[in-house]
Chains A and B, each alone.
Chain A
């Protein structure tokens, strides 16, 4: 009887702890969001958003454009490679294959490499050795490698969690392996893959350490899509504003932080919606 009561108490404590941690996490998020947004949003104006950069406006326009450019091109490079790699690992490689072990090790290693080390690597290889200089291109090359493990591991987890039944069904109906992968496995795994992409976008948008030495801290007056230009992203813009000591740079750092948060929010929202829709489609 006593044992039972103790077990019940422990269970209750566990339950409360679990609830507390869940609420705490959401609470921390809300606190950070409100702290940045309440001070930053009132500072956002048209000139800051779409104006020409100078030491008065401290406009973020060119940084926003470069950030978007980097996200798109980096994903364009990394997502196919990452998903294909995951497909190889889960669908094609034979169990106990040596190459698979090495690839897993490589992916784990890549995932653990700090972004500042990617920055050093990018600086040595792309900026100096390949002669890309401090440019958006060097930044993109560095970022593409950096987000690869995120995409591989999330895709792999997602593909793995597709029940074997589905594959067997498809193969049994006479579809080829490739067809099974693209028609059955990938759509089912899509929500998982997308959540990896969300993390990757977040990482690119927020990346500073890997970019300071590769794409540089330069800021152009007007946005450019020139890959060879040296231009900062939004996150570096915020970092520079927080360091520079211009009269109102700190307020504008809050404003930049708000834009960053809003972008991340929009990206998350759309991808979640997308994931939901695809998930439903594949259920039907």
Chain B
């Protein structure tokens, strides 16, 4: 009697779990569907080549010009910069927290990382505008609003993502690996970097995916430090202002209408495609790893 009841609830909950799992699929499909429905007609009207390969963005001119190449390049540079700054520091910090940190320090450092994750992007942006931009202007020339300032802010912002996920994956590497290596005479550092880190590779990759996602998609912090200028490709420099895909949407969406609004949604579609290409590439690497 009781076992059939248990069986029943077991079945029911299994169905609930299954349905919950399906929701993320539904969400992704819905997002794709609605973005494409609104974005594709605009791309069709502008012409896909014109849209993606033209660097001229002049939506208020007549005749208007909707080319987002400059922003695609801008997003790429800014993200690359953020990764170059954030990943090494974050990874090292994760190793530190997982393997080198004395307990007392860990009690300060771990909450600090969590807090860093919690600080809103708008605060980072404000900080960037008040501290990093003037610092760059005074020490490196230019007007401070630049690819570099955006990269630094984004590099800081992706730290906690990289640290916390890498750390937990480093910790989940079985201790026997380490003991084996240490027993063979390797130093602790060698063990961590040659044995533990490679074993934690999938977690580290996940953290980098999420980090890139955050960097590419970050809007409010970048809009305050990037300067938002649409630059022709040959004038894009590390210390010059830049407009990214995300900042293009957020600065112009509020007033846009008609084709202009749709072209901004189409900018979102391009961003989306970016993410999908990225995810596919990385999941391919992951599956290859799993096979080896």
- B49 an interface residue at 8 Å Cβ cutoff? no
A176's contact among B6, B22, B265, by CB below 8 Å, is which?
Answer: B6
A208's contact among B21, B22, B28, B122, by CB below 8 Å, is which?
Answer: B122
CB-defined contacts of A82 to chain B, threshold 8 Å: 20
Of A55-63, A85-93, A165-173, A223-231, the one with at least 4 CB within 8 A of chain B: A85-93
Closest beta carbon of chain A to B2's beta carbon, Å = 10
Do the beta carbons of B92 and A21 come within 8 Å of each other?
Answer: yes
In the complex the two chains form, what is the Cα distance from A149 to B272 in whole Å? 16
Contact with A along B1-13 (1 / 0, CB 8 A): 0000010011001
Do the beta carbons of B224 and A109 come within 8 Å of each other?
Answer: no
Most buried by B among A106, A107, A265: A106
In the complex the two chains form, what is the Cα distance from A91 to B117 in whole Å? 29
CB-defined contacts of A125 to chain B, threshold 8 Å: 30, 34
Do the beta carbons of B219 and A114 come within 8 Å of each other?
Answer: yes
Closest beta carbon of chain A to B240's beta carbon, Å = 23
**Residue of chain B at shortest CB distance from A93:** B21
- B45 an interface residue at 8 Å Cβ cutoff? no
- A120 an interface residue at 8 Å Cβ cutoff? yes
CB-defined contacts of B224 to chain A, threshold 8 Å: 242
**Residue of chain B at shortest CB distance from A181:** B13
Do the beta carbons of A112 and B20 come within 8 Å of each other?
Answer: no
Do the beta carbons of B272 and A153 come within 8 Å of each other?
Answer: no
In the complex the two chains form, what is the Cα distance from A21 to B28 in whole Å? 36
- B216 an interface residue at 8 Å Cβ cutoff? yes
**Residue of chain A at shortest CB distance from B128:** A32
Contact with A along B50-65 (1 / 0, CB 8 A): 0000000000000000
CB-defined contacts of A35 to chain B, threshold 8 Å: 127, 130-131
CB-defined contacts of B271 to chain A, threshold 8 Å: 114, 116-117
CB-defined contacts of B31 to chain A, threshold 8 Å: 113, 117-118, 121, 145
- B182 an interface residue at 8 Å Cβ cutoff? no
Do the beta carbons of B24 and A21 come within 8 Å of each other?
Answer: no
- B112 an interface residue at 8 Å Cβ cutoff? yes
Do the beta carbons of A108 and B253 come within 8 Å of each other?
Answer: no
**Residue of chain A at shortest CB distance from B7:** A176
- B276 an interface residue at 8 Å Cβ cutoff? yes
- A10 an interface residue at 8 Å Cβ cutoff? yes
CB-defined contacts of A15 to chain B, threshold 8 Å: 100, 188-189
B115's contact among A207, A235, A268, by CB below 8 Å, is which?
Answer: A268
- B258 an interface residue at 8 Å Cβ cutoff? no
In the complex the two chains form, what is the Cα distance from A8 to B116 in whole Å? 34
Do the beta carbons of B20 and A22 come within 8 Å of each other?
Answer: no
Do the beta carbons of A264 and B119 come within 8 Å of each other?
Answer: yes
CB-defined contacts of A114 to chain B, threshold 8 Å: 213, 216-219, 246, 271, 275
CB-defined contacts of B99 to chain A, threshold 8 Å: 18
Beyond known contacts A85-B20, A115-B219, A272-B114: 12 more, CB 8 A cutoff:
A22-B100, A22-B101, A88-B17, A88-B21, A92-B17, A92-B18, A112-B217, A114-B271, A209-B246, A235-B121, A265-B115, A267-B118
* Residues of B participating in the A interface, judged by any CB pair closer than 8 Å: 6, 9-10, 13-14, 16-18, 20-25, 27-28, 30-31, 34-35, 38, 88-90, 92-93, 95-97, 99-101, 105, 108-109, 111-124, 126-127, 129-131, 156, 159, 163-165, 168-169, 172, 187-190, 192-193, 203, 206, 209-210, 212-213, 216-220, 224, 246, 249-250, 253-254, 264-265, 268, 271-272, 275-276, 278-279, 283
Top 7 A-B pairs ranked by shortest CB distance? A114-B217, A206-B120, A202-B118, A21-B92, A22-B96, A84-B20, A264-B118
